Structure 1
Amino acid sequence: MRTCLLTLLATCLATTCFGQGVTGRVLAADRSPIIGAYIIHLNSEHHTHSNELGNFELEGVAAGDSLRVTYLGYRTRVVPVPDDNKKLEVVLSESFFDLEAITVRPDLRSINVATDIDARLRPVNSAQDVLRRVPGLIIGQHAGGGKAEQIFLRGFDIDHGTDVAISVEGMPVNMVSHAHGQGYADLHFLIPETIEKIDYGKGPYYADHGNFATAGYVDFSLKEKLDGSLFTAEVGSFNTLRTVGLFDLLDGPTGHAYLATEYLLSDGPFVSSQHFSRLNLMGRYTADLASGSKVSVLASHFDSKWDASGQIPGRAVADGTIGRFGAIDDTEGGFTSRTNVAGQFLRVVDRNTFVKTEAYYSRYAFDLYSNFTFFLVDPVNGDQIRQSEDRALAGVNSELQHAFRTDTGEGTLKVGLGLRYDNNDEVALSRTKNRETLLERLQYGDIDETNLFAYAAADFEIGDLLINPALRVDHFVFNYVDRLQPTYDRQEQRKTAVSPKLNFLYTVNDRTQVFLKTGIGFHANDSRVVLDRSADAILPAAYGADLGGIFRPTPRLHLNAALWYLYLEQEFVYVGDAGIVEPSGESRRVGVDFGLRYQITDWLFADADLNYALARSIGEPEGANYIPLAPDLTSTGGLNVLRDRLSGGLRYRFVNDRPANEDNSIVAEGYFLLDANVNYTIRRLSLGLTAENLLGVDWNETQFATLSRLRTETEPVEEIHFTPGAPRAVRAVVRYRF
């Protein structure tokens, strides 16, 4: 692997031979680099884009020629090329939102422009709501607001993160070998107002994303500096209160610092109050160094506690035993916290080469009480369980990027190395009563898991064709000490995954691009599964392919479409709620994604995403091969107004009925929801009103086919158990900038 990386690096460095032309940098008014700005030479229509440092280079450009520089949300500039050899600096000022500024970039992640558009048009309601910015991603909450959301994407019931890799500033959110479930991704430590950009990709095609990145990945970048301080207060239905403070501490020529705080309280719509509270604190300091280099340090702390009414059986609601917002066992709930320290060092080697290194450390605690089956196992004390863990997580990622030029065009080389280490002590699954009495320990042990990885990827531009070959290698070391055994016994297993990728993008012009993406990915199994099964079941592979394109039939209409395929090998799943291992078998998914962004007038915008997936198990008889809870048809969209001081929108969410078990004899009902918001700005003051579930629909946010028994029943019943979705609710928002 090392020889291949060095050979590829040497080849690309040898081809570095930039000819005569112009070099430059595109900046915003606050001197921050603009990534992906479109620069076109008006004389020849030859074009390029600014890189992560804001730098660009164009050949065949002479003094006196003109360049047009455009970027979404900024005023287009036409600048003359100077008659000296100095680097050209282009500063863009923010302007009225205009989709005509969008151009199709020759970039594997060019489809991300959809989230750039949405970020400027749609307010974010909560930390989990930011995930809905990813087209086709649906979420559901089923434990009082404190538990990580259930995620659905591309025909997957991802549970809490088994098949989508989520990260913040290079720091992983997914927890391996988690007490509740593999890949558990609790994003609640993220304050929405601090988000700068959302980067996402669907499928296993991206070398810089490894474990869990099968259906896709989502990466959040946070603001390095503020454009001013902000205080927000929100008051809403169900005794909901949220306050946010962003405080600009330092805004100098060489350094920036700010502090962000969030506090949230809510009782929820339930008969038994959820007594939910969440506290977030975050601070960040960024120092600008010579030649564009910079160093950044981030620290944050989050804790949350809540009570929950849990998932309730449909039969108890139907016969009037409880209402839709009642509970069979209202002693559910929990506590969780996470403290993070992360640093980033961007070292600019020259105008074509830089190295980005990210390091992080987290302390994480989790304590969850649930009761899914009520009195099925223990008819006297009930079936409450406790899941808990105490984790330390540390890692480092380092990536070199080098731009080069060959006789056929431009290119970029990326080479990365990294390490992640999880030390997860006292991982427990226990039977409890009333959150107080320990009845029985079902699982109890210590987990150590290490992931070493390396990858290389190159973009080769041959005229209008971009070819992106890539290779990723991951090596895992799994360790587990079972504390329930009478003698000490540390078990260990090792496994390596090799994941090649090959992608093609053909840019017809600045309005049309077609692509073919192919690749192999994986998600690691829980350490307890690894050490219980043969080595072949440790890192089941996922094979994927996407065929699609990005189209702009008119200047203000942006379309994207993809036909995709994903196959998963045999895997074994650790069921954290029961402490058992279940084989899930092979599976195949095919589907279609379609997205639309349209600027109807200067101030009226429309968007829609439609996603279809056919998910089936392989090797099972027809009619018994459904994948439980896999969504087949989902859609989101709406209308947004952005006019002077007034902004607002009307949005919908649709999820189709889907099978809740393998033979589709139990169905999870779909829903259609309509939300609205309006905001008005008066100088530094902004007033807003948000209404959710405008139609007052009775809907189920999460649903499961579960075998349970109530106290009054002699025989168990398998049926839909659900967490009710919130009824009609309103929230008033006041924001003040200073």
Structure 2
Amino acid sequence: MRRFLPLFLVLISLQAYAHLGGISGVVYDQTTNVPLRGVTVQLTGLGKATLTNELGQFRFTGLVAAPYKIELSHLGFKTQTIAVVVLDDQTTSLKAYLTGASVELSEVVVSSQRAHDQQLISSLDIKLRPIVNSQEILRLVPGLFIGQHAGGGKAEQIFLRGFDLDHGTDIRLTVDGMPVNMVSHAHGQGYADLHFVIPELVEGADFKKGPYTTDKGNLATAGWVDFRTKTALDRSFVKLEAGQYNTYRAVAGLDLLGQRGRAKNQSAYLASEYSYSDSYFDNPQHFKRLNVVGKYHGHLTPNTNLTLTGSTFWSKWNHSGQIPDRAVESGLIGWFGSIDPTEGGETSRTNVNAQLVTVTPKNHVIKNQFFYSNYNFELYSNFTFFRNDSINGDQIRQKEHRNLFGYNGSYSAQTYLGKSRWTTTLGAQYRQDITHHTELSHTKNRVETLNPVQFGNVNEINAAAYADELIQFSDHFSLNAGVRLDYFRSQYEDLLTTPALTKRATQAIVSPKLNLYYTLNPRFQLYLNTGKGFHSNDARVVVAQDGREILPGAYGSDLGVIVKPFPRLLINAAAWYLWLEQEFVYVGDEGVVEPSGRSRRQGIDVSARYQLTKNVYADVDLNTARPRAIGVEAGQNYLPLAPTFTSTGGLSLQTSSGLNGSIRYRYIGSRPANEDNSIVAQAYFVTDLQANYTKRNYNVGLSIQNLLNTRWKETQFATESRLQGEAAPVDEIHFTPGTPFFARLSLTWFW
């Protein structure tokens, strides 16, 4: 009899469990009827909580028959409590709709449920700070600075965590999961042009600093950012802008399906943007940009949704380029003048992005994404003026035609072992870049080609697989461990040789990650992020050195804390360290990126968000860094243009009467412009203002860049150049002047 007792007890337990019930549901945005991902769902009083999945679904099982209360909370929405009755052997189903509400910092909690991916800072910022132009999109990342030095049409120069990232060498940028960075680009490795994104369509920004996320591969060393565009429009709209310097802009978004589509869980919209500006330079830029975007979202089955996005973008401009200090100081040109007024460019990009998400009956999530881009780029620059060619000048043309296509797929499943929850994710990724006639040529006046320097075709493949495990052991402790394998094949066909010469190189790299999180309570979380990442080298550099140092590694760690010492104050602080096996150096006169030596960076990031009153919010970001080259003599080991201290902050206003806006500052400290710090890039402090008056059917806005009309240098380089008539080259700061006082008015109509 004793031998059968354990089996008897198991049968009794199973019989008791068989009579237990459950709760399942879906949470929607009431305005758009789109399922909400990441909503916190709590069973009041029981200590049980979960998050909604990709389809807005949640589920509780093993509940005894009884009445329950479910609390739903999501940043920017009203918290909702629903009474539910669970019966024996039954799963109670429900639908919940959340309505938008003003942000209350007192309601924001530090969640143990989503310790690895919670984005409290960025979620707050996107809700509180209006995005008024494409540059503001990147500034959503705390500590990230940008600078424009080619007339608004070229991708911005990016700075983050002690990096001068040029246009994207060590930061991975994506939009709805589709890559923005262009590897082996005609202008520079990792070139990332976000201007195909219409600012009014940005819904959020997910980011992480450092190489700690398993599904983020190439270029994600300083960090990564994924911008999410709106799945559906709240309402159709038309927006008109006009400002100084012959600046005009028109944006429109049309909800194609309306309420009839929402009733069927479908949405579709078409949006377009056109911009024109002569800008504030002495030589008018005649800047033009056109964007068109269409997006569809719908359910193929109750558990499968499909999102299709198509877009096209075109831009053309003139620009004044970087000018030397001595030319301004001598009176040769003015502060907004130029040495070579024939610089400029033209670019276009057409995208198709298909995303399919399926949730199985066992709550497993399957994601499939296919993307394609056709990209064209042509840029005329002159960094050194007459240093190499005293007669015709040193203007160069960088040009390419590219087809980019790829796939992202993942399978994720949750299992429970006792009180711990295990989330296993397996993924596969593929990307191929094929360029036609990637060119670097010496030109004159954007018309005459004097000498081809590089001319060829790139064919680059990056295939990857990864495994990721997220374990929530309890309400206090969770662990994330992952590993990814990346394979690269770089091919370059040199068309300047006869016959054309094709070279290839291959290499693979393994990148492990380990992240630990301890959540003491909803007001305090401690975390340790560690991991290895990498950036690939330009294919032309790779094959030239026979495949050596194709994939230099980056090793990083963050020790951080998220804390709410008071109900209305949220602080995120981290001490960090990053070691790179190889740096990139941009060679301006040759227009290429070359690999350099090892480096290390360490610093402290602090972000704080504080609600002063019911309607006024304050924020500040402070970022320090100590970037140094390794194995180089002290005093000669500075990393040119790498920021050592940056700060941004401001006040935001949101009122029920319709008045809202913000006043913001950004500051970057002086930093070395060359390896021995003998040339210094000057600090600047700039203030911007945005004010809006919003009613149900319209919005009137005023945007002012550089409110105090500060004279500042937006981008600065130590460059050796020679002006026409000079006997010898001079090595000094060359800069692009920053925006003077620049006001724009806008009127938006909703229906």
TM class, shorter-chain normalised? over 0.9
Shift of 1:538: 0.5
TM-score (norm 2): 0.94
Match of 1:81 in 2: 84
Assess if the C-alpha contact under 8 Å between 1:43 and 1:65 holds in 2.
no
Please show how residues 284-683 of structure 1 align to structure 2 within 5 Å.
284-350=295-361, 352-463=363-474, 464-571=476-583, 575=587, 577-578=589-590, 582-644=594-656, 645-683=658-696
Match of 1:10 in 2: none
Match of 2:340, SS? coil
Match of 2:742 in 1: 729
Shift of 1:250: 1.2
Per-residue CA deviation, residues 581-610 of structure 1 (Å, 9 max, x unaligned), is 644200000011100111111111111111
Assess if the C-alpha contact under 8 Å between 1:529 and 1:573 holds in 2.
no
Pick the aligned partner of 1:119 from 89, 104, 126: 126
Shift of 1:194: 1.3
CA–CA distance in 2 between the matches of 1:721 and 1:576?
Answer: 11
Shift of 1:197: 1.7
Per-residue CA deviation, residues 154-189 of structure 1 (Å, 9 max, x unaligned), is 000000000000011121000010000000000100
Per-residue CA deviation, residues 265-288 of structure 1 (Å, 9 max, x unaligned), is 000100000110000001111222
Q: Unmatched 5+ residue regions in structure 2?
A: 1-16
Match of 2:68 in 1: 65
CA–CA distance in 2 between the matches of 1:431 and 1:675?
Answer: 39
Farther off after superposition, 574-583 or 104-113: 574-583
Assess if the C-alpha contact under 8 Å between 2:505 and 2:546 holds in 1.
no
Farther off after superposition, 247-256 or 367-376: 247-256
Per-residue CA deviation, residues 482-530 of structure 1 (Å, 9 max, x unaligned), is 0111223211111101101011111111221111010000000000111
Assess if the C-alpha contact under 8 Å between 1:41 and 1:61 holds in 2.
no
Pick the aligned partner of 2:53 from 42, 51, 54: 51
Per-residue CA deviation, residues 52-101 of structure 1 (Å, 9 max, x unaligned), is 33233446754212222211111112222322322343322222321223
CA–CA distance in 2 between the matches of 1:24 and 1:92?
Answer: 13
Please show how residues 245-256 of structure 1 align to structure 2 within 5 Å.
245-251=252-258, 252=261, 253-256=264-267
Assess if the C-alpha contact under 8 Å between 1:82 and 1:88 holds in 2.
no
Q: Unmatched 5+ residue regions in structure 1?
A: 1-16
Shift of 1:698: 0.6
Farther off after superposition, 511-520 or 43-52: 43-52
Pick the aligned partner of 1:100 from 85, 103, 106: 106
CA–CA distance in 2 between the matches of 1:627 and 1:574?
Answer: 12
Match of 1:8 in 2: none
Match of 2:92, SS? coil
- Larger Cα-atom Rg: 2
Assess if the C-alpha contact under 8 Å between 1:525 and 1:573 holds in 2.
no
Assess if the C-alpha contact under 8 Å between 2:34 and 2:232 holds in 1.
no
Shift of 1:349: 1.5
Assess if the C-alpha contact under 8 Å between 1:450 and 1:477 holds in 2.
yes
Per-residue CA deviation, residues 285-342 of structure 1 (Å, 9 max, x unaligned), is 1222322311121111100000011000001101111111001110000100001111
Please show how residues 151-166 of structure 1 align to structure 2 within 5 Å.
151-166=158-173
CA–CA distance in 1 between the matches of 2:38 and 2:287?
Answer: 41
Assess if the C-alpha contact under 8 Å between 1:182 and 1:574 holds in 2.
no
Q: Verify: 1:219 aligned to 2:226, yes or no.
A: yes
How has the CA–CA distance of structure 1 residues 176 and 197 changed in structure 2, closer, same or farther, with 3 Å as cutoff? Answer: same
TM-score (norm 1): 0.95
CA–CA distance in 1 between the matches of 2:324 and 2:584?
Answer: 28
Assess if the C-alpha contact under 8 Å between 2:54 and 2:357 holds in 1.
no
Q: Which amino acid aligns with 1:697?
A: T
Match of 1:7 in 2: none
Shift of 1:677: 1.4
Match of 1:566, SS? strand
CA–CA distance in 1 between the matches of 2:38 and 2:354?
Answer: 24
CA–CA distance in 2 between the matches of 1:364 and 1:696?
Answer: 37
Q: Which amino acid aligns with 2:69?
A: S
Match of 1:136 in 2: 143
Match of 2:120, SS? helix
CA–CA distance in 1 between the matches of 2:588 and 2:186?
Answer: 6
Q: Verify: 1:279 aligned to 2:285, yes or no.
A: no
Q: Verify: 1:147 aligned to 2:154, yes or no.
A: yes
Pick the aligned partner of 1:36 from 31, 35, 38: 38
Aligned sequence identity (%) = 49
CA–CA distance in 2 between the matches of 1:669 and 1:533?
Answer: 36
Assess if the C-alpha contact under 8 Å between 1:72 and 1:99 holds in 2.
no
Q: Which amino acid aligns with 1:152?
A: F
Match of 2:708 in 1: 695
CA–CA distance in 1 between the matches of 2:386 and 2:589?
Answer: 15
Q: Which amino acid aligns with 2:277?
A: S
Assess if the C-alpha contact under 8 Å between 1:521 and 1:543 holds in 2.
yes
CA–CA distance in 2 between the matches of 1:552 and 1:477?
Answer: 47
How has the CA–CA distance of structure 1 residues 73 and 572 changed in structure 2, closer, same or farther, with 3 Å as cutoff? Answer: closer
Farther off after superposition, 146-155 or 62-71: 62-71
CA–CA distance in 2 between the matches of 1:105 and 1:176?
Answer: 37
Shift of 1:461: 1.1
Match of 1:186 in 2: 193
Q: Which amino acid aligns with 1:624?
A: Q
Assess if the C-alpha contact under 8 Å between 1:529 and 1:572 holds in 2.
no
CA–CA distance in 2 between the matches of 1:111 and 1:461?
Answer: 14
Farther off after superposition, 242-251 or 54-63: 54-63
Count the aligned residue pairs.
722
Q: Verify: 1:23 aligned to 2:24, yes or no.
A: yes
Match of 2:621, SS? strand
How has the CA–CA distance of structure 1 residues 687 and 636 changed in structure 2, closer, same or farther, with 3 Å as cutoff? Answer: same
Per-residue CA deviation, residues 561-596 of structure 1 (Å, 9 max, x unaligned), is 111100000356574751666442000000111001
Per-residue CA deviation, residues 353-412 of structure 1 (Å, 9 max, x unaligned), is 121111111111100000010000000000100000010111111111212211141121
Per-residue CA deviation, residues 391-448 of structure 1 (Å, 9 max, x unaligned), is 0111111111212211141121111112101101101100001111110001111110
Q: Which amino acid aligns with 1:446?
A: N
CA–CA distance in 1 between the matches of 2:592 and 2:339?
Answer: 25
CA–CA distance in 2 between the matches of 1:727 and 1:405?
Answer: 58
